[in-house]
Amino acid sequence: MTIEEVNELEAFFQKADKQATPIYLNEATVINNYEHFLESHFAPLKENPSARVNQPLIWRLRTLKLLVEANS
Global pTM reads: 0.91
**Where do the structural domains in the chain lie, given as residue ranges?**
3-70
Q: Which residue has the higher pLDDT, 72 or 16?
A: 16
Asked if the peptide bond before residue 49 counts as cis, ω within 30 degrees of 0, the response is no
For residue 31, list its beta bridge partners.
23
Residues 28-68 pLDDT 10s: 999 999 999 999 999 999 999 989 999 999 999 999 999 99
Pairing verdict, β 29-31 and 23-26: antiparallel
Count of CB atoms within 10 A of residue 23's CB? 17
Q: Report the C-alpha gap between 18 and 55 in whole angstroms.
A: 24
pLDDT score of 1 more than 90: no
Alpha helices in 1-72 (DSSP H): 3-15, 34-47, 55-70
Mean pLDDT computed over 10-15: 96
